[in-house]
Amino acid sequence: MSMNSTQSALERLKPAMDDIPGDWDIIIIGGGITGAAILREAARMGLRVILVEQVDFAWGTSSRSSKLVHGGLRYLKEGRIFLTKASVEERQRLLREAPGLVEPLGFLMPMYKGGHPGRTILSAGLTLYDLMGAGKRHRFLQESAFHAQMPHMRREGLKGGFSFYDAQVDDARLVLRLIKEAVDDGGWAANYTAAREILRDGRGLSRGVILEDIGGARSREISGRVVINATGWWAERLHPSSDRTCHLRPLRGSHIVFPSWVIPIAQAVTFMHPSDNRPIFVIPWEGVVIVGTTDLDHREGFDDEPAISKEELSYLMEGLVHCFPSLSLDSENAISTFAGIRPVVSQSDGDRSPSEESRDHVIWKDRGLITVTGGKLTTFRRIAWDTLNEAFEFLPEGVTVDWNAPVFDSPEEKGIDGVDLPEWDWQRLFGRYGKAARPMVENSSPEDLHSAGGTPTLWAEVIEGARHEGIEHLDDLLLRRVRLGLLIADGGISLLDEVQRRCGPFLPWDSRRWREERNRYRHILEKSYGFPGRKPLPSAEKEGFLTKTVRKARQRFRL
């Protein structure tokens, strides 16, 4: 693609509005997992392709999932064997291709007297699950063996339980890795660039979109042979479904994040909530424990970040306290919360309960405009292929898909002489950053190869995010390029001086801009990652005042 060769990969990631070429094979709207996966595959095919995202890459549901790469046992229960099979195959592929990003996860599922479904049904389901994946992995544990593995779990009525395997991922990093590798292959990706309108010619054929940058300061038209609307639960804003019986039903799912010392578990556990018998997950992830999720109609507006409600917080706490009675759990000890909106396509006129709605993806087309929504993070590649299949009729002749190509570029997975980094950290960096991992480490000072705030994240990753990953705001960096905002109490605001010191040289921000960014970050934390009813976080000015006062007192009293 001659047009692609003149710009560097860095310039194709987050280009200025005026630098975006005007003519494309494919324009993708939406920078979640669906848009990112389509971009990756289209760039691999050598197509001229751009993705535009109204806020930040993975800002929507794709950074707010339960972070499981799973076959979905519940789909099996619903008889959706093909969806489960496709998901299990994708899970196995991702485990093979991206260790360090997608990791195996042991699961326990307790069985209580009188609980449903019974042991025989579950055993049959798990056998099928195993057969679709890596062979026999599940087993039944008698009560005492189960208790030994999950000692804090309610023992009253416990009959034992199953042990089985799934996998987990850093969802936002998965999106980022796909986007960055697509950009390395000649694709373009612009965050903070919204598609405001679909343009059509006299015959009604879609011919492009009107783009608008942050705050609507600049807008312009670009044209494309085909436009793909991958905007998740926003999809009907740009392209309403013409089928009266098939519409998006936004369903919110919220999570609570605890420090691992509060819920000490070595593997994930799923149990039935005592009030409605829905499955709840408790999952160790990145040194913390995630508890989720709820499933209810989201009635708030499109433009605000979703947040956990008081009722959801109480519901999840009720389930937790019931499940782990000996831990005296209290939401006061939790670190953060987050909520996402499932883009569920309902064909039920809203008369089904949220949990009964299908999680399949759906594609609808209208003269060069293709909308794809619904589905799961796990099956992103299949969703991308299904969508591109619908786009072929509009694309140049001779474009082919390589169904066997690996999803990711394979990095040269070896360390660097003289760099003392444990094997585990290398794996993590190769998984999350692919080929960018080695240059990242080469350009890091030894002090950058240490943990940020006691988390598995290295300071080098925070700096990489600021330097090379197209951030616009501090929240892009701390909530999506790295996940410190979820992993450290109060979103890690105690680390902000350190973040500013280390990342400042790579960002064009003066001290006023840093203050604004810090205040914006606090505001977002309070609104969407905090706890309803908790005390507000101190403002940047107040925090600055407190820091100065403590520093002065220390100097005065030589502390």
Ligand X SMILES: Cc1cc2nc3c(=O)[nH]c(=O)nc-3n(C[C@H](O)[C@H](O)[C@H](O)COP(=O)(O)OP(=O)(O)OC[C@H]3O[C@@H](n4cnc5c(N)ncnc54)[C@H](O)[C@@H]3O)c2cc1C
φ, ψ at 93 (rounded to 5°): -65, -45
φ, ψ at 146 (rounded to 5°): -65, -45
How far is the C-alpha of 432 from the C-alpha of 223, rounded, in Å?
Answer: 33
How far is the C-alpha of 196 from the C-alpha of 219, rounded, in Å?
Answer: 9
**Contact flag: residue 316 with ligand X (CB under 6 A):** no
- The residue among 74 and 147 lying less far from ligand X, judged by its C-beta, is 74
Whether 434 and 427 have beta carbons less than 8 Å apart is answered as no
**Contact flag: residue 470 with ligand X (CB under 6 A):** no
Interface of this chain with ligand X, residues 104 to 123, rule: CB under 6 A: none
Q: What number of chain residues touch ligand X (CB under 6 A)? A: 38
Helix (H) or strand (E) holding 430: helix 423-433
How far is the C-alpha of 407 from the C-alpha of 356, rounded, in Å?
Answer: 31
- The 215-234 contact track toward ligand X, x by CB under 6 A, reads ---------------xxx-x
Sorted by sequence, the CB contacts under 8 Å of residue 361 that are 6+ apart come out as: 34, 345, 372, 373, 374, 375, 379, 383, 386
Q: Which of 15, 253, 354, 368 binds ligand X (CB under 6 A)?
A: 253
Whether 281 and 292 have beta carbons less than 8 Å apart is answered as yes
- The 169-208 contact track toward ligand X, x by CB under 6 A, reads -------------------------xx-------------
- The residue among 210 and 262 lying less far from ligand X, judged by its C-beta, is 210
What is the identity of the amino acid at 263? I
Minimum CB distance to ligand X, residue 154 (Å) = 24
- The residue among 296 and 317 lying less far from ligand X, judged by its C-beta, is 296
Q: Nearest CA to 283 among 85, 73, 476, 103? A: 103
Minimum CB distance to ligand X, residue 91 (Å) = 9
How far is the C-alpha of 116 from the C-alpha of 169, rounded, in Å?
Answer: 29
- The residue among 34 and 84 lying less far from ligand X, judged by its C-beta, is 34
**Contact flag: residue 371 with ligand X (CB under 6 A):** no
Interface of this chain with ligand X, residues 56 to 75, rule: CB under 6 A: 59-62, 65-68, 70
- The residue among 378 and 444 lying less far from ligand X, judged by its C-beta, is 378
Minimum CB distance to ligand X, residue 428 (Å) = 20
DSSP 493-516: GGGHHHHHHHHGGGS---HHHHHH
Token couple for 304: 């605000």
**Contact flag: residue 460 with ligand X (CB under 6 A):** no
Helix (H) or strand (E) holding 196: strand 193-200
**Contact flag: residue 53 with ligand X (CB under 6 A):** yes
Q: Which of 28, 257, 307, 377 binds ligand X (CB under 6 A)?
A: 377
- The residue among 34 and 444 lying less far from ligand X, judged by its C-beta, is 34
Q: Under the rule (CB under 6 A), what is the footprint of ligand X?
A: 29-35, 52-55, 59-62, 65-68, 70, 194-195, 230-232, 234, 238, 253, 293, 340-343, 373, 375-378
